[in-house]
Chain A
């Protein structure tokens, strides 16, 4: 029977792994992720979850253990943060290149040095080009739903790629919210057992992902790109089907809020998207036509949807909880790139906010929106990238 529980996003991620009937979990603790794998350990030890729980000596080993298990044909899960994720970097390429649909919760935490345990997207965004699909969640319900949806997506034969389900440390990870957990039988109907694209077989041994000559390598890369494009088509369909069955939908690739008549659209990712909605409501009371577009999926990037939003809006504002040093926020770069070959595309202003866990409230976003509107009216972006609330 479906039930509503009140718990942290980390524990909810554990509930989702259990509901997805994950068979192998390889775990290494790191703040703020630790309580994800602690919850799963509790489920496995108490017999509530039928899974092999592998305690490894590093995050690199955690990912490699997941690769081995997925290659043996079972559904796998792990979770990590920041330095743990970056230590996995090499293995992340192996997972996607071997086309193994591993799902990993990334509890976003800013990268050191200097040390931080608070959230920004510098950990997961630095893994942009590893061939992993990336989701960013705005609340605990979305964490649960996205993990279930992601298995469905990644295990589709048109995709066969791994995915990160990203959630910001502390803002979500350690915050209690009510979450609806659907009936297990209904989840099983939605998410059938995993059928791999290829499987290790002791009776017919082979090695996988071996050396390929220049004559063959490009095609394997192209097939990953193709799979990403397929994922882009499937994500909204899966989200819609999930919503029909279980009552919660999250906007597919981009969660749009009051964008239809907006002349200014605020682009965010993760929890800033929830704050942006509150800001939009307040701005609307002042009769300012502002909308919010929360990019839920960063890879594959929703180029077409961003392009469609540009048909009416005069100005796009991106708010990045990340900085690509020497350039700008990644979201700013991607949004601009999505518009480049489009006629009469809007101005794009980039704002950097909330690094290392600094609060980004609806008031912060309101302030950003008002500054953007000023630039929109004069028809000139005065500053390509503006750092919000920066000490002088």
Chain B
């Protein structure tokens, strides 16, 4: 919430972190494998949205899942959980 302190005197007693998007930077750059959703196979069951540990999958109005590649770390949990194998992992450089 407050600006980054310049001196020790401006620092709080202990770090207090207010919820902000990407407070630790854009973690998408950590990714080795990239999940991709095949929307023709996707049944909109939203299991991937439930399991994503980084809240990097958003749920559209019609329950279509959408991956935020700026924050997705590529852990692959969504691909593992998808009951119809609509999500596949691909090497970033491919």
Contact surface of A with B, Cβ cutoff 8 Å: 97-99, 160, 197-198, 204-212, 216, 219-220, 222-223
A99–B16 touching, CB < 8 Å: no
Would you list the 10 A-B pairs with minimal beta carbon distance, nearest first?
A: A99-B13, A210-B17, A206-B18, A197-B13, A209-B14, A98-B14, A206-B16, A219-B8, A207-B17, A212-B15
Which residues from chain A contact B18 at a C-beta distance below 8 Å? 204-206
State the CA gap A265–B13 with chains docked (Å): 39
Which residues from chain A contact B15 at a C-beta distance below 8 Å? 208-210, 212, 216, 220
Which residues from chain A contact B11 at a C-beta distance below 8 Å? 216, 219-220, 223
A206–B13 touching, CB < 8 Å: no
B12–A198 touching, CB < 8 Å: yes
- Any chain A CB within 8 A of the CB of B21? no
Which residues from chain A contact B17 at a C-beta distance below 8 Å? 206-208, 210
Picked from A198, A205, A212, the residue with its CB within 8 Å of the CB of B13 is A198
State the CA gap A212–B13 with chains docked (Å): 13
- Any chain A CB within 8 A of the CB of B19? yes
Q: What's the nearest-Cβ distance from chain B to residue A137, in Å?
A: 28
What does DSSP make chain A's interface, helix, strand, loop or mixed?
Answer: loop
Q: Which residue of B lies closest to A216 (CB)?
A: B15
Which residues from chain B contact A99 at a C-beta distance below 8 Å? 13-14
Which residues from chain A contact B24 at a C-beta distance below 8 Å? 211
State the CA gap A212–B5 with chains docked (Å): 13
A160-B13, A208-B14 are known; give 8 further A-B pairs, CB within 8 A: A197-B13, A205-B18, A205-B19, A206-B19, A208-B15, A208-B17, A220-B14, A223-B8
Which residues from chain A contact B8 at a C-beta distance below 8 Å? 219, 222-223
Q: A211-B24, A219-B8, A223-B8 are in contact. Are A198 and B19 (CB under 8 A)?
A: no
Contact surface of B with A, Cβ cutoff 8 Å: 1, 8, 11-19, 24
Which residues from chain B contact A210 at a C-beta distance below 8 Å? 15-17
State the CA gap A160–B11 with chains docked (Å): 14
Q: Which residue of A lies closest to B17 (CB)?
A: A210
Q: What's the nearest-Cβ distance from chain B to residue A207, in Å?
A: 5
**Most chain A Cβ neighbours within 10 Å, of B13, B15, B16, B24:** B13
Which residues from chain B contact A204 at a C-beta distance below 8 Å? 1, 18
A97–B14 touching, CB < 8 Å: yes
Q: Which residue of A lies closest to B11 (CB)?
A: A219
State the CA gap A160–B14 with chains docked (Å): 11
Q: Which residue of A lies closest to B12 (CB)?
A: A198
Which residues from chain A contact B12 at a C-beta distance below 8 Å? 198
Which residues from chain B contact A219 at a C-beta distance below 8 Å? 8, 11
Which residues from chain B contact A207 at a C-beta distance below 8 Å? 16-17
Sample of 20 A–B contacts (CB below 8 Å): A99-B13, A99-B14, A160-B13, A197-B13, A198-B13, A198-B16, A204-B1, A204-B18, A206-B1, A206-B19, A207-B16, A208-B15, A208-B16, A210-B15, A210-B16, A210-B17, A211-B24, A219-B8, A220-B15, A223-B13
Q: Which residue of B lies closest to A219 (CB)?
A: B8
Q: What's the nearest-Cβ distance from chain A to residue B16, in Å?
A: 5
State the CA gap A207–B14 with chains docked (Å): 10
State the CA gap A208–B12 with chains docked (Å): 10
Which residues from chain A contact B16 at a C-beta distance below 8 Å? 198, 206-208, 210
Q: What's the nearest-Cβ distance from chain A to residue B54, in Å?
A: 15
State the CA gap A97–B13 with chains docked (Å): 8
Q: What's the nearest-Cβ distance from chain B to residue A245, in Å?
A: 29
Q: Which residue of A lies closest to B18 (CB)?
A: A206
Q: What's the nearest-Cβ distance from chain A to residue B26, in Å?
A: 16
**Most chain B Cβ neighbours within 10 Å, of A160, A206, A212:** A206
State the CA gap A198–B13 with chains docked (Å): 8
